[in-house]
Structure 1
Amino acid sequence: MLFLWVKAFHIMAVVAWFAVLFYLPRLFVYHASCDDVAGRERFKIMERKLYRGIGAPSMILVWTLGAWMAYLNWDYYKTQGWFHAKLTLVFLLTGYHHMCGAYVKKFARDFEPPSHVFFRWFNEVPVLFLAAIVIMVVVRPF
């Protein structure tokens, strides 16, 4: 029963984390297109609060609860190829999360951002991760 409780909270943390990973790069699109000082300042606040207030805590919860689930059933998970592939994807997604954090810091320092078109493409990356991770967990192709 403990495993199911941990799994439920893990899924909630994943949903919160992906909400940030979908919305934060969208804010970057708007921020990169913004021409007025007041608007740019507003985006800085929104980006910082989203990343630090929701993004980082939810990512930490995803990793903590995921590690707890793995610990509870390690004999099973250690032999599953899909699990190792999923962990690799989550590790790479964590790198994407930190890239977002780097952009939050750069925007806070008023750097000259890449075009909004770059951020429109950057915004699509978490969709690919989500699809691949869900397939690993649900389909378990190997």
Structure 2
Amino acid sequence: MLYLWLKALHIIAVICWFAGLFYLPRLFVYHAMSSDAPSHERFCVMERKLYRGIMVPSMIATLALGIWMLVINPSLFATGIWLHIKLTLVLLLVGYHHMCGALLKKFARGENHRGHVFYRWFNEVPVIFLLAIVILVVVRPF
């Protein structure tokens, strides 16, 4: 029963984390398009609150609950290579998360040199991760 509670909480944390991963780069698009100081300050506040208040706690909860599920059920490692691929993708997603944090800091310092088109493409990266991870978990093709 504990495992099912952990799984439910893990899924909720993943949803919250992805909400931030989808929204923060979208804020970067709008931030890159803005040119006035009030907009810059407003976007900096929104980005910082989203990153620190939602994304970081959700990422930590996702990772902690996922690790806890693996500790409780280590036999998952013997179910095929799908889990190893999923965990690799999760590590890459953590890297993307930290890239978002680095970009947030650049915007805050006024050092962004990329345009909104870059951020529109950057915004699509989590979609690829989400598709791959969900397919690996549900379909288990390997």
Q: Same fold (TM over 0.5)?
A: yes
Deviation of 1:112 (Å): 3.1
Q: Is 1:42 aligned to residue 36 of structure 2?
A: no
Q: TM-score, normalised by structure 2?
A: 0.98
Cα distance in 2 for residues equivalent to 1:94 and 1:136: 18
After TM superposition, list the pairs within 5 Å mapping 1:1-142 onto structure 2.
1-74=1-74, 76-79=75-78, 80-142=80-142
- Which consecutive unaligned segments of at least 5 residues does structure 2 have? none
Residue identity over aligned pairs, in percent, reads 65
Write the deviation string for residues 51-110 of structure 1: whole angstroms up to 9, x where unpaired: 001000000000000000111110x21222111110000000000000000011111101
Q: Aligned partner of 1:4: which letter?
A: L
Specify the code of the residue in structure 1 equivalent to 2:35.
Answer: D
In structure 1, runs of 5+ residues without a counterpart are none
Q: Is the 8 A contact 1:107 1:113 kept in 2?
A: no
* TM-score (normalizing by structure 1): 0.98
Query: What CA RMSD, in Å, does the superposition of the two structures yield over aligned residues?
Result: 0.6
